[in-house]
Amino acid sequence: MGKGKNDNDKKNTGRKRQPNSTTSLGKRRSRSRSPVERQATAASKQSSQGKSGHQKHKKTTSTMSNPRSSEYGSQASPLRVPTQPKELVKVTIVGAAGGIGQPLALLLMMHSEYIHHLALYDLVDSTPGVGLDVSHVDRQVKVTTHVGLDSLADAVKGASVILVLAGLAQKPGMSRDDLFGSNAKIMYNIAKCCAQTAPNAMLCIVTNPVNSLVPLACEVYSRLLANKAQNPGSPTGGAAAGAPDQQQPPKQQQQQQQQQDQQQTQANDQQAAAAATATASKTAVAGQQQQQEQAAGKPESSAAKPADDHQANKSLKSLQSTGARQPSGNFEDCFRRIFGVTTLDVVRASTLTAKSALFKNEPNGLFKDPSKVQVPVVGGHAGKTIMPLLSQASPKIDKKQLMEDKVTTSIVIEGIQQAGIEVLNAKKGKGSATLSMAYAACRFTVSLLRAMAGEHIVECAYVRHAAPLCHDLEYFAAPLVLGKDGYVKVVANYFPHGNTPTTGGSVISGGSSASATGTGAGQSGGGGTPVSSSTSVASGQSLTAASNKLLLPFELHMLEEGSKELRLSIVKGEDFAREQLSADK
């Protein structure tokens, strides 16, 4: 009896309850501690072990990878990354109460690591309700609402990114060009306000038809910013305050301004035509000389190239300064910050390609993860102008498979081009592709904000280029490197350019013109193609040869046909803007 008692006493005295023991009390104590306390305890143990020289490599969970940490909140998204921004970022949605604007506002609220002020603008009286609804989301984002034409300037003032969703939505039986009549005037007024109030903001145009509204906005920005630079005393780009001509009656002022515009336009056309003629003649002479030398068996003359390139650059600068195929004003100040959002085409291309027979299913029976498939979609944002380049997809698709399996290839391409119409018809006229468009607009907005924060981001978008990119088109969607002040350069070198394979063109590397031959007012004998810094292309023939090697025949044909349709949409937008600007004077 005594012995057993002594043994039990020894066991009881030797037993110590540890906080991390397997006893129920230890479990309760462990569970009662907060995640921060447990991490602090683990860190102290690890440091003490390091000091004693017996440190063990243990994998600890950090608050950055643990979305349920107390620093995030129990309902936080794992996508959120806590940061300390240097300045508050404001994003404005113009058309926030519509079918795209409402889900887009919700999605942007989930990215409070990049967005700190969300301004919602619309004309309808339900806009404050939308703002109140989305403001209840548990994110540290300031939400303001703005209603009516007079409040548009307040909504866009100080914004880093402006998303334009306003306008008439597409209905069954309507093409995107049919929308131009109603949405062009809306876009014109919005572009004017943004150019005057927030000229340094990124302008992202979602309203259709994007193919025409982006050229319209670029014309408005270029003209207003040029007038503002010439007359800094006038916020609207008109005559400076106190100028002598303001004493004249308005009709006389308008007549004088119209006469000056006509004279300037005639002078610009004459100079541009002369420069184009001179450049074309020199190019023809150089081509004849080269053919004669090649026929005589002489090596290609390199002494004449620097002079030709110098003259070509001089002609290009002359055309830009005179305004030929160039909006008035400092082109560099605006064109890199105006985007047509074509991200939905890229998202659809990734999804439909991943689901097609071009990729094998995963071992679990599901189709390939679309987020891991990247297909560049170039051109425009409507019908045939949507041109997915399957041969440039990542992961790579066997070109032989694309050529042999023509049925699958055509189904994928047509599905991407007609996806919006299919959604429109499936909704029986009660809406368009609002949800997927909201997702795509959110993705592009976050990509812009990440690029503005210093990250290297590449996204496809419909923009104006400093020189023709594909054939003779200056407006063209392509993969772009985004930066703090807009897009930096194009990251593709597979575009054919020029009206014929033998015409020369300008080569753009990093957004600057390297060489050019034969650009003229109203038409172009050549174009430009973006290349990497390690690639040098000397002529339009070699560029086209490079595109022939990189792209498949059906893709080259698709680019040619899509460019014809896109050209008409561009002219429509530019002409509308010029007419409205002249009428406003």
Kindly state which CATH superfamily the domain 89-228 is placed in.
Answer: NAD(P)-binding Rossmann-like Domain (3.40.50.720)
Residue in 57, 111, 116, 381 annotated catalytic: 381
Q: Is 381 marked active-site?
A: yes
Q: Which residues contact 479 (CB under 8 A, 6 or more apart)?
A: 376, 378, 458, 459, 460, 490, 491, 492
Q: What is the dihedral of CA 303, 306, 312, 313, to 10 degrees?
A: -170
pLDDT number for residue 67: 33
**Which pTM does this prediction carry?**
0.66
Query: What are the angstrom distances between the C-alpha of 580 and each of 197, 535, 584?
Result: 19, 42, 6
Peptide bond into 19 cis (omega under 30): no
pLDDT above 90: percentage of residues in the chain:
48
pLDDT of residue 220: 94
- CB-side exposure of 546: number of CA atoms within 13 Å? 18
- In terms of Cα–Cα distance, which of 451, 433, 432 is closest to 443? 451
Rounded distance between C-alpha atoms, residue 177 and residue 183, angstroms: 10
The owner of tokens 């899509």 is 562
**What is the average per-residue pLDDT within 102-106?**
98
- Residue 487 near residue 547, CB atoms below 8 Å: no
CB-CB contact of 534 with 179 (8 Å) = no
Residue 401, C-beta contacts closer than 8 angstroms, at least 6 positions apart: 358
Least confident residue range of 108-122, 169-183, 406-420, 514-528: 514-528
Chain centroid offset of residue 145 CA:
25
Alpha-carbon gap, residue 417 to 348, rounded angstroms: 9
Of 137-141, 195-199, 472-476, 541-545, the poorest mean pLDDT is in 541-545
Residue 530 pLDDT > 50, yes or no?
no
Q: Per CATH, is 342-490 categorized as 3.90.110.10? A: yes
Residue 143 to residue 120: CA distance in whole angstroms: 7
> What are residue 458's DSSP bridge partners?
481
Can you give the residue ranges of every domain in the chain?
Answer: 89-228, 342-490
- Can you tell me the distance from the alpha carbon of 342 to that of 440, in angstroms, rounded to the nearest whole number? 8
Check pLDDT > 50 for residue 35.
Answer: yes
Q: Alpha-carbon distance 363 to 351, whole Å? A: 18
Residue 523 vs residue 371, higher pLDDT: 371
- Distance, CA of 285 to CA of 274 (rounded, Å): 17
Residues in the chain: 585
Residue that wins the pLDDT comparison between 509 and 223? 223
pLDDT of res. 506: 31
Round to whole Å and give the CA distance between 551 and 548: 5
**The pLDDT value given to residue 311:** 41
Q: How far apart are CA 102 and CA 162, in angstroms?
A: 15
Rg of the chain over Cα atoms, rounded to whole angstroms, equals 30
